[in-house]
Structure 1
Amino acid sequence: MKNKHIGLFFGTFNPIHIGHLILGNHIAEFGSVDEVWYVITPQSPFKQKASMLENHHRYELVYRATENYPKLKASKIEFDMPQPNYTSKTLEKLLEQYPDYKFHLIMGEDNLASFKKWKNYDYILEHHHIIVCPRIHNKNVPSELKHHAKVQYVDVPIVEISASFIRTAISNQQNIKPLLPEKVWAYIDEMNFYR
Protein backbone atom coordinates (compact mmCIF):
# COMPACT_ATOMS: atom_id res chain seq x y z
CA MET A 1 0.00 0.00 0.00
CA LYS A 2 1.56 3.27 -1.11
CA ASN A 3 1.61 6.34 1.10
CA LYS A 4 0.73 4.41 4.20
CA HIS A 5 0.86 6.53 7.38
CA ILE A 6 2.68 4.81 10.24
CA GLY A 7 2.72 5.99 13.85
CA LEU A 8 5.93 5.04 15.65
CA PHE A 9 5.70 4.35 19.36
CA PHE A 10 9.24 4.02 20.78
CA GLY A 11 9.96 2.38 24.12
CA THR A 12 11.78 -0.34 26.01
CA PHE A 13 8.44 -2.12 26.62
CA ASN A 14 9.90 -3.86 29.66
CA PRO A 15 7.19 -5.19 29.71
CA ILE A 16 4.52 -3.92 27.29
CA HIS A 17 1.27 -3.37 29.22
CA ILE A 18 -2.36 -2.48 28.56
CA GLY A 19 -1.59 1.26 28.75
CA HIS A 20 0.69 0.90 25.72
CA LEU A 21 -1.96 -1.13 23.86
CA ILE A 22 -4.82 1.25 24.66
CA LEU A 23 -2.80 4.22 23.43
CA GLY A 24 -1.51 2.56 20.25
CA ASN A 25 -4.87 1.06 19.33
CA HIS A 26 -6.68 4.37 19.92
CA ILE A 27 -4.28 6.24 17.62
CA ALA A 28 -4.53 3.50 14.94
CA GLU A 29 -8.34 3.39 15.07
CA PHE A 30 -9.26 7.03 15.67
CA GLY A 31 -6.15 8.99 14.66
CA SER A 32 -4.56 10.00 11.37
CA VAL A 33 -2.39 6.88 10.86
CA ASP A 34 -3.05 3.51 9.24
CA GLU A 35 -0.90 1.48 11.64
CA VAL A 36 1.10 1.89 14.84
CA TRP A 37 4.50 0.22 15.10
CA TYR A 38 5.97 -0.42 18.55
CA VAL A 39 9.69 0.26 18.04
CA ILE A 40 11.53 -1.66 20.76
CA THR A 41 14.57 0.20 22.01
CA PRO A 42 17.49 -2.22 22.36
CA GLN A 43 19.31 -2.52 25.63
CA SER A 44 22.32 -0.25 25.41
CA PRO A 45 25.60 -2.14 25.79
CA PHE A 46 26.79 0.90 27.77
CA LYS A 47 23.93 0.76 30.27
CA GLN A 48 23.30 -2.83 31.27
CA LYS A 49 20.32 -3.02 33.63
CA ALA A 50 19.58 -6.21 35.50
CA SER A 51 15.81 -5.62 35.29
CA MET A 52 15.89 -5.18 31.48
CA LEU A 53 14.88 -8.29 29.58
CA GLU A 54 17.00 -9.21 26.58
CA ASN A 55 15.94 -7.69 23.26
CA HIS A 56 14.45 -10.88 21.80
CA HIS A 57 12.30 -11.46 24.90
CA ARG A 58 10.88 -7.92 24.79
CA TYR A 59 10.21 -8.34 21.07
CA GLU A 60 8.36 -11.59 21.83
CA LEU A 61 6.23 -9.80 24.46
CA VAL A 62 5.32 -6.99 22.04
CA TYR A 63 4.65 -9.49 19.24
CA ARG A 64 2.32 -11.51 21.47
CA ALA A 65 0.56 -8.35 22.70
CA THR A 66 -0.13 -7.07 19.17
CA GLU A 67 -0.64 -10.21 17.08
CA ASN A 68 -4.45 -10.07 17.27
CA TYR A 69 -4.56 -6.38 16.28
CA PRO A 70 -3.99 -5.98 12.51
CA LYS A 71 -3.15 -2.27 12.84
CA LEU A 72 -0.50 -2.81 15.55
CA LYS A 73 2.96 -4.24 14.82
CA ALA A 74 6.17 -5.05 16.71
CA SER A 75 9.34 -3.57 15.20
CA LYS A 76 12.93 -4.54 15.94
CA ILE A 77 14.42 -2.09 13.41
CA GLU A 78 16.78 -0.66 16.06
CA PHE A 79 18.24 -4.03 17.12
CA ASP A 80 20.90 -4.05 14.38
CA MET A 81 21.74 -0.34 14.51
CA PRO A 82 24.95 0.96 16.10
CA GLN A 83 24.63 2.06 19.72
CA PRO A 84 23.98 4.56 21.11
CA ASN A 85 21.22 5.10 18.59
CA TYR A 86 19.22 8.25 17.87
CA THR A 87 15.61 8.50 16.71
CA SER A 88 16.63 10.58 13.68
CA LYS A 89 18.83 7.68 12.44
CA THR A 90 15.99 5.19 12.91
CA LEU A 91 13.69 7.44 10.88
CA GLU A 92 16.28 7.65 8.10
CA LYS A 93 16.59 3.84 8.03
CA LEU A 94 12.81 3.39 7.95
CA LEU A 95 12.50 5.83 5.04
CA GLU A 96 15.18 3.90 3.15
CA GLN A 97 13.28 0.64 3.66
CA TYR A 98 9.80 2.11 3.09
CA PRO A 99 10.21 5.14 0.80
CA ASP A 100 6.45 5.44 0.16
CA TYR A 101 5.47 5.48 3.83
CA LYS A 102 4.96 8.56 5.99
CA PHE A 103 6.27 8.11 9.53
CA HIS A 104 4.80 9.98 12.48
CA LEU A 105 6.38 10.03 15.93
CA ILE A 106 4.08 9.26 18.86
CA MET A 107 5.25 10.77 22.12
CA GLY A 108 4.02 11.90 25.49
CA GLU A 109 3.81 15.58 26.31
CA ASP A 110 6.76 15.11 28.68
CA ASN A 111 8.98 14.13 25.70
CA LEU A 112 7.78 17.11 23.67
CA ALA A 113 8.79 19.39 26.55
CA SER A 114 12.42 18.23 26.19
CA PHE A 115 12.31 17.62 22.41
CA LYS A 116 14.76 20.44 21.60
CA LYS A 117 17.45 18.46 23.43
CA TRP A 118 17.09 15.55 21.00
CA LYS A 119 19.82 15.02 18.43
CA ASN A 120 18.70 16.46 15.04
CA TYR A 121 15.29 17.45 16.46
CA ASP A 122 14.96 20.11 13.71
CA TYR A 123 15.47 17.45 11.01
CA ILE A 124 12.78 15.27 12.63
CA LEU A 125 10.34 18.18 12.81
CA GLU A 126 11.00 19.16 9.21
CA HIS A 127 10.34 15.67 7.80
CA HIS A 128 7.83 14.08 10.19
CA HIS A 129 4.66 14.85 12.07
CA ILE A 130 4.55 14.39 15.83
CA ILE A 131 1.49 12.94 17.55
CA VAL A 132 1.43 14.10 21.17
CA CYS A 133 -0.42 12.27 23.92
CA PRO A 134 -1.31 14.44 26.91
CA ARG A 135 -0.24 13.41 30.40
CA ILE A 136 -2.05 13.94 33.68
CA HIS A 137 0.69 16.32 34.85
CA ASN A 138 1.07 19.23 32.45
CA LYS A 139 4.56 19.88 31.16
CA ASN A 140 5.99 23.21 30.11
CA VAL A 141 6.13 22.69 26.36
CA PRO A 142 7.76 25.58 24.46
CA SER A 143 5.06 27.55 22.66
CA GLU A 144 6.72 27.21 19.24
CA LEU A 145 6.52 23.41 19.59
CA LYS A 146 3.04 23.30 21.12
CA HIS A 147 1.61 25.31 18.21
CA HIS A 148 3.89 23.97 15.46
CA ALA A 149 2.13 22.94 12.23
CA LYS A 150 3.69 19.44 12.43
CA VAL A 151 2.67 18.84 16.06
CA GLN A 152 -0.76 17.32 16.63
CA TYR A 153 -2.24 16.75 20.08
CA VAL A 154 -4.57 13.76 20.25
CA ASP A 155 -7.34 13.05 22.69
CA VAL A 156 -6.48 9.57 23.94
CA PRO A 157 -7.49 7.77 27.12
CA ILE A 158 -4.80 8.51 29.70
CA VAL A 159 -3.73 5.33 31.46
CA GLU A 160 -0.89 5.97 33.88
CA ILE A 161 0.74 2.56 34.37
CA SER A 162 4.49 2.21 34.68
CA ALA A 163 6.48 -0.84 33.64
CA SER A 164 8.66 -0.41 36.74
CA PHE A 165 5.55 -0.67 38.94
CA ILE A 166 4.65 -3.92 37.15
CA ARG A 167 8.17 -5.35 37.56
CA THR A 168 8.22 -4.49 41.27
CA ALA A 169 4.77 -6.00 41.82
CA ILE A 170 5.81 -9.24 40.09
CA SER A 171 8.96 -9.47 42.20
CA ASN A 172 6.80 -8.95 45.32
CA GLN A 173 4.43 -11.73 44.13
CA GLN A 174 1.50 -9.31 43.79
CA ASN A 175 -1.18 -9.94 41.17
CA ILE A 176 -0.94 -7.46 38.27
CA LYS A 177 -2.51 -9.73 35.63
CA PRO A 178 -5.23 -7.15 34.75
CA LEU A 179 -2.50 -4.70 33.67
CA LEU A 180 -0.99 -7.03 31.05
CA PRO A 181 -2.36 -8.61 27.88
CA GLU A 182 -3.09 -12.27 28.65
CA LYS A 183 -0.39 -13.67 26.33
CA VAL A 184 2.18 -11.25 27.77
CA TRP A 185 1.44 -12.38 31.32
CA ALA A 186 1.58 -16.05 30.23
CA TYR A 187 5.07 -15.57 28.73
CA ILE A 188 6.38 -13.61 31.74
CA ASP A 189 5.01 -16.27 34.09
CA GLU A 190 6.32 -19.19 32.01
CA MET A 191 9.81 -17.63 31.75
CA ASN A 192 9.86 -16.57 35.40
CA PHE A 193 10.76 -12.98 34.51
CA TYR A 194 11.13 -10.09 37.01
CA ARG A 195 11.07 -12.42 40.04
Structure 2
Amino acid sequence: MSGRARIGLLFGSFNPVHIGHLILAEHFATRTDLAEVWFVVSPHSPFKEVADLLPERERLRLVELAVAGNPRLRAEDIEFGLPRPSYTIATLDALRLRHPAHDFVLLMGADNLPGLPRWQESARLLAEVDIYIYPRPGTALPALTLFSRVQVMKAPLLDISATSIRANLRAGHSIRYLVTDAVAEVLMAQKSYL
Protein backbone atom coordinates (compact mmCIF):
# COMPACT_ATOMS: atom_id res chain seq x y z
CA MET A 1 0.00 0.00 0.00
CA SER A 2 1.31 3.42 -0.85
CA GLY A 3 0.35 6.62 0.95
CA ARG A 4 -1.97 6.62 3.94
CA ALA A 5 -4.25 3.63 3.91
CA ARG A 6 -7.72 4.03 5.39
CA ILE A 7 -8.47 1.08 7.63
CA GLY A 8 -11.96 0.26 8.88
CA LEU A 9 -12.18 -0.97 12.46
CA LEU A 10 -14.98 -3.36 13.34
CA PHE A 11 -15.00 -3.73 17.13
CA GLY A 12 -16.66 -6.58 18.93
CA SER A 13 -16.44 -9.54 21.22
CA PHE A 14 -17.05 -11.83 18.20
CA ASN A 15 -18.52 -14.42 20.51
CA PRO A 16 -18.44 -16.13 18.04
CA VAL A 17 -17.57 -14.40 14.76
CA HIS A 18 -20.28 -15.17 12.19
CA ILE A 19 -21.20 -14.77 8.54
CA GLY A 20 -22.96 -11.45 9.23
CA HIS A 21 -19.68 -9.95 10.50
CA LEU A 22 -17.81 -11.27 7.48
CA ILE A 23 -20.35 -10.07 4.90
CA LEU A 24 -20.34 -6.62 6.49
CA ALA A 25 -16.53 -6.42 6.60
CA GLU A 26 -16.21 -7.61 3.00
CA HIS A 27 -18.78 -5.04 1.91
CA PHE A 28 -16.83 -2.19 3.54
CA ALA A 29 -13.47 -3.50 2.30
CA THR A 30 -14.62 -3.74 -1.33
CA ARG A 31 -17.29 -1.05 -1.77
CA THR A 32 -15.90 1.96 0.10
CA ASP A 33 -12.64 3.91 0.27
CA LEU A 34 -11.24 1.51 2.88
CA ALA A 35 -8.17 -0.52 2.00
CA GLU A 36 -8.85 -3.13 4.70
CA VAL A 37 -11.18 -3.96 7.57
CA TRP A 38 -9.70 -5.12 10.86
CA PHE A 39 -11.74 -7.10 13.39
CA VAL A 40 -10.73 -5.60 16.75
CA VAL A 41 -11.41 -8.42 19.19
CA SER A 42 -12.43 -6.96 22.55
CA PRO A 43 -11.41 -8.94 25.63
CA HIS A 44 -14.24 -7.27 27.56
CA SER A 45 -16.61 -4.59 26.35
CA PRO A 46 -17.72 -2.18 29.10
CA PHE A 47 -21.29 -2.80 27.84
CA LYS A 48 -21.27 -6.63 28.00
CA GLU A 49 -21.31 -9.30 30.67
CA VAL A 50 -18.17 -11.45 30.86
CA ALA A 51 -19.89 -14.69 31.92
CA ASP A 52 -20.83 -15.98 28.46
CA LEU A 53 -17.58 -15.03 26.70
CA LEU A 54 -15.21 -17.61 25.30
CA PRO A 55 -11.60 -16.87 26.32
CA GLU A 56 -10.18 -13.96 24.33
CA ARG A 57 -7.46 -15.96 22.59
CA GLU A 58 -10.04 -18.51 21.45
CA ARG A 59 -12.27 -15.78 20.00
CA LEU A 60 -9.24 -14.26 18.26
CA ARG A 61 -8.33 -17.65 16.81
CA LEU A 62 -11.87 -18.06 15.46
CA VAL A 63 -11.67 -14.64 13.78
CA GLU A 64 -8.28 -15.58 12.29
CA LEU A 65 -9.80 -18.80 10.92
CA ALA A 66 -12.82 -16.91 9.55
CA VAL A 67 -10.74 -14.31 7.64
CA ALA A 68 -7.95 -16.65 6.49
CA GLY A 69 -7.26 -16.25 2.81
CA ASN A 70 -8.81 -12.77 2.54
CA PRO A 71 -6.01 -10.17 2.33
CA ARG A 72 -8.43 -7.29 2.99
CA LEU A 73 -9.66 -8.63 6.32
CA ARG A 74 -7.62 -9.22 9.46
CA ALA A 75 -7.92 -10.05 13.14
CA GLU A 76 -6.47 -7.49 15.55
CA ASP A 77 -5.60 -8.24 19.19
CA ILE A 78 -4.37 -4.81 20.29
CA GLU A 79 -6.92 -4.57 23.11
CA PHE A 80 -5.46 -7.66 24.79
CA GLY A 81 -2.56 -5.53 26.02
CA LEU A 82 -4.62 -2.53 27.11
CA PRO A 83 -6.29 -1.83 30.48
CA ARG A 84 -9.75 -3.34 30.90
CA PRO A 85 -12.51 -2.74 30.21
CA SER A 86 -11.52 -1.61 26.72
CA TYR A 87 -12.41 1.92 25.63
CA THR A 88 -12.47 2.77 21.93
CA ILE A 89 -10.48 5.99 22.31
CA ALA A 90 -7.62 4.19 24.10
CA THR A 91 -7.59 1.49 21.41
CA LEU A 92 -7.44 4.12 18.68
CA ASP A 93 -4.53 5.87 20.41
CA ALA A 94 -2.66 2.54 20.65
CA LEU A 95 -3.37 1.68 17.00
CA ARG A 96 -2.18 5.10 15.83
CA LEU A 97 1.09 4.62 17.71
CA ARG A 98 1.58 1.14 16.25
CA HIS A 99 0.49 2.08 12.70
CA PRO A 100 1.26 5.78 12.14
CA ALA A 101 0.88 5.48 8.35
CA HIS A 102 -2.80 4.48 8.59
CA ASP A 103 -5.95 6.49 9.04
CA PHE A 104 -8.59 4.62 11.01
CA VAL A 105 -12.34 4.70 10.46
CA LEU A 106 -14.83 3.29 12.96
CA LEU A 107 -17.47 0.96 11.56
CA MET A 108 -20.52 1.06 13.78
CA GLY A 109 -24.05 -0.30 13.78
CA ALA A 110 -26.82 2.30 13.81
CA ASP A 111 -27.96 0.93 17.18
CA ASN A 112 -24.72 2.17 18.81
CA LEU A 113 -24.92 5.77 17.58
CA PRO A 114 -27.44 7.13 20.13
CA GLY A 115 -25.21 5.99 23.02
CA LEU A 116 -21.99 7.34 21.51
CA PRO A 117 -22.05 10.65 23.46
CA ARG A 118 -21.76 8.58 26.69
CA TRP A 119 -18.58 6.80 25.53
CA GLN A 120 -15.22 7.53 27.17
CA GLU A 121 -13.84 10.81 25.73
CA SER A 122 -16.66 10.87 23.17
CA ALA A 123 -16.05 14.52 22.22
CA ARG A 124 -12.49 13.70 21.22
CA LEU A 125 -13.58 10.56 19.40
CA LEU A 126 -16.21 12.45 17.41
CA ALA A 127 -13.72 15.21 16.55
CA GLU A 128 -10.84 12.95 15.47
CA VAL A 129 -12.32 9.95 13.69
CA ASP A 130 -14.56 9.30 10.70
CA ILE A 131 -17.38 6.93 11.56
CA TYR A 132 -19.24 4.84 9.01
CA ILE A 133 -22.65 3.75 10.25
CA TYR A 134 -24.36 0.67 8.86
CA PRO A 135 -28.05 -0.21 9.24
CA ARG A 136 -29.27 -2.62 11.91
CA PRO A 137 -32.62 -4.44 11.81
CA GLY A 138 -35.30 -2.51 13.68
CA THR A 139 -33.10 0.54 14.37
CA ALA A 140 -33.98 4.03 13.18
CA LEU A 141 -31.12 6.47 12.74
CA PRO A 142 -31.01 9.44 15.12
CA ALA A 143 -30.52 12.97 13.80
CA LEU A 144 -26.92 13.29 12.63
CA THR A 145 -26.52 17.01 13.36
CA LEU A 146 -24.37 16.22 16.43
CA PHE A 147 -22.12 13.94 14.41
CA SER A 148 -20.22 15.89 11.73
CA ARG A 149 -17.82 13.02 10.90
CA VAL A 150 -20.50 10.34 10.72
CA GLN A 151 -21.59 8.95 7.37
CA VAL A 152 -24.45 6.53 6.91
CA MET A 153 -23.38 3.83 4.48
CA LYS A 154 -25.43 1.36 2.51
CA ALA A 155 -24.63 -2.13 3.70
CA PRO A 156 -26.39 -5.49 3.83
CA LEU A 157 -29.09 -5.60 6.51
CA LEU A 158 -28.44 -8.89 8.27
CA ASP A 159 -30.30 -10.28 11.27
CA ILE A 160 -27.74 -12.85 12.43
CA SER A 161 -26.61 -12.75 16.04
CA ALA A 162 -23.93 -14.45 18.07
CA THR A 163 -26.58 -14.89 20.79
CA SER A 164 -28.74 -17.05 18.50
CA ILE A 165 -25.69 -19.05 17.38
CA ARG A 166 -24.82 -19.79 21.02
CA ALA A 167 -28.45 -20.81 21.64
CA ASN A 168 -28.38 -23.12 18.59
CA LEU A 169 -25.20 -24.77 19.86
CA ARG A 170 -26.73 -25.31 23.32
CA ALA A 171 -29.87 -26.82 21.75
CA GLY A 172 -27.84 -29.10 19.47
CA HIS A 173 -29.09 -27.35 16.32
CA SER A 174 -27.07 -26.78 13.17
CA ILE A 175 -25.05 -23.59 12.82
CA ARG A 176 -24.12 -24.34 9.21
CA TYR A 177 -24.10 -21.21 7.02
CA LEU A 178 -24.22 -18.99 10.14
CA VAL A 179 -20.46 -19.31 10.67
CA THR A 180 -17.67 -20.43 8.37
CA ASP A 181 -16.99 -24.16 8.16
CA ALA A 182 -13.64 -23.70 9.93
CA VAL A 183 -15.29 -21.84 12.82
CA ALA A 184 -18.12 -24.38 13.07
CA GLU A 185 -15.62 -27.22 13.18
CA VAL A 186 -13.79 -25.70 16.16
CA LEU A 187 -16.99 -24.78 18.03
CA MET A 188 -18.40 -28.28 17.59
CA ALA A 189 -15.14 -30.06 18.46
CA GLN A 190 -14.61 -28.00 21.63
CA LYS A 191 -18.31 -28.10 22.57
CA SER A 192 -18.14 -24.31 22.98
CA TYR A 193 -20.96 -22.60 24.90
CA LEU A 194 -22.33 -25.90 26.26
TM bracket (short chain) = over 0.9
Deviation at 1:188, TM superposition (A): 0.8
Cα deviation, residue 150, structure 1: 1.3
1:16-69 alpha-carbon deviations (Å, 9 max, x no partner): 0000000000000001210000000103799530x2100110000000000121
Structure 1 unmatched ranges of 5 or more = none
Q: How many residues align?
A: 192
Specify the alignment match of 2:50 in structure 1. 48
- Matched AA of 1:151: V
The letter for the 2-side match of 1:73 is: R
Aligned to 2:149: 150
Q: 1:114 to 1:43 in 2, by over 3 A?
A: closer
Matches of 2:50 and 2:13 in 1, distance apart? 13
For 2:190, the equivalent position in structure 1 comes to: 191
For the 8 Å contact 1:105–1:129, the answer to whether it is kept is yes
Q: Deviations over 1:72-123 (max 9, x none)?
A: 0000000011112210000001111111110000000111111111111111
1:136 is matched with: 137
- Residues 155, 140 of structure 1: alpha-carbon distance in 2 compared, 3 angstrom cutoff: closer
**Counterpart in the other structure of 2:24:** 23
Q: Which residue identity is paired with 1:94?
A: L
Q: Corresponding residue for 1:127?
A: 128
Amino acid at match of 2:160: I
Structure 2 counterpart SS, 1:37: strand
Q: Structure 1 123/53 Cα, relative in aligned 2: closer, same or farther at 3 Å?
A: same
Please give the alpha-carbon distance, in whole angstroms, between the structure 1 residues aligned to 2:65 and 2:141.
Answer: 36
In structure 2, the residue matched to 1:5 is 6
Provide the C-alpha distance between the structure 1 equivalents of 2:126 and 2:112, rounded to a whole number of angstroms: 14
1:181 equivalent in structure 2: 180
Worse-superposed segment, 15-24 or 181-190: 181-190
State the alpha-carbon separation in 2 of the partners of residues 190 and 30 from structure 1.
35
In the alignment, the residues of structure 2 paired with residue 143 and residue 104 of structure 1 have an alpha-carbon distance, to the nearest angstrom, of 17
State the Cα distance separating 1:140 from its structure 2 match. 5.1
State the distance in 1 between where 2:157 and 2:130 align: 21
Structure 2 length-normalised TM: 0.93
Map of 2:73 onto structure 1:
72
Within a 5 Å distance, the mapping from 1:99-118 to structure 2 comes to: 99-118=100-119
Misfit runs of 4+, over 3 Å: 43-48
Q: What is the alpha-carbon root mean square deviation over aligned residues?
A: 1.7
1:139-163 deviations in Å (ceiling 9; x for gaps): 3524414xx4411111111111110
Distance 1:99 1:42, change over 3 A: same
SS at match of 2:100: coil
Give the TM-score normalised by structure 1. Answer: 0.93
**Sequence identity (%):** 36
Change (3 A) 1:43 1:138: closer
